[in-house]
Amino acid sequence: MSVARELWTGVALDDQIQAASSNPVILDGQALAVWRGEEGPVRVWEDRCPHRGMRLSFGFVRGETLRCIYHGWTYATDGQCLAIPAHPTLAPPKTICASTYPSETRYGIVWTKLDGGSNGAALPDLGPDEGWEPVRSLFVHAAASPVLEALLNCDLGQQGPVHMVAENAAEVEIGPELRVLVAVHAMDDERTALHAVARGPRAASERAGLARRLERLRDDIERA
């Protein structure tokens, strides 16, 4: 499966992206820097400083700015370059801007899409944002399509049918009190990540058990 560029894809669990950190993520072969300021939401940028191509996932965070490790060029949350330390008195031209992607945090998952426009489907709608607990992320050595197929036929334990809430996200109801959302994240033709969250009174207590069942799913896919 090649990712439709206008499709929102879950690329990380929100609680995995620590405050004041920048992290490398690959989506459909594109290198992304997923970063968070000392407070505030997660941002998704191209993993490349426009100056000399250094990966911004190696960058460091000060306040709500991301700084490139190579020369300290400092970027605001909208990608605009604010400071070039080699020339402390220079106001950087507006043309110096990191490439940004849309990002939204919903249900404990960070979503992005490679097409920055307003084309394409909306984010999955599973009701209110509150109450979702992270389960875990898994990395599977397989393309996204067999992973999706396996997910549709998976057994998370005493469950109802798996239904797709987007082309690349599935929801499973396990009894009346537990819902699981799994985002399928195509990294490239050979690697797929799954990001799972759960909601309901049993979400926290079932977390370890759900994680083990997802690991079994991964093992089944990789053995197939």
Partner 1 sequence: MTVTTDPVALNQWVPCAWDGQIPVGGSLDTMIFGQPIHVQRTGEDSYRVAAVDGTTERELPVQVRYTCVFTTLGDTPRPLPEIAEFDEADRRITGCGNVGVNTSPYRLVENFLDMAHFAFIHTDVLGALDQTEVLAYRTEHRKEVDEIWAIDCTFYQPAASKAATGGQLTRYVYRVMSPFSVMLYKNVVTDPSRNDAICVFIQPKRETECLAYMPMAIVDEVSTVGDLIDFQQSIFLQDRVILENQRPALLPLDPTSELPTRADASSIAYRRWLKAMDIRFGILEKQAA
- The CA distance from 27 to 31, in Å, is 7
Amino acid at 90: L
Among 87, 118, 130, 158, binds partner 1 (CB under 8 A): 87
For partner 1, the binding residues in 46-85 under the rule CB under 8 A are 47-48, 50-55, 58, 69-72, 84-85
# residues near partner 1 by CB under 8 A: 23
Q: Which is nearer to partner 1, 8 or 75 (CB)?
A: 75
In contact, 186 and 168? CB cutoff 8 Å? yes
Which of 127, 173, 170 is closest to 148 using CA atoms?
170
Q: Which is nearer to partner 1, 95 or 158 (CB)?
A: 95
Tokens 């690991």 belong to residue: 215
Residues in the chain: 224
Cβ at position 204, least distance to partner 1 in Å? 38
Q: Is 4 exposed, middle or buried (0-12, 13-18, 19+ CB in 10 A)?
A: middle
Binding mask 93-132 for partner 1 (x = CB under 8 A): --xx------------------------------------
List residues near partner 1 by CB under 8 A.
Answer: 31, 47-48, 50-55, 58, 69-72, 84-88, 90, 92, 95-96
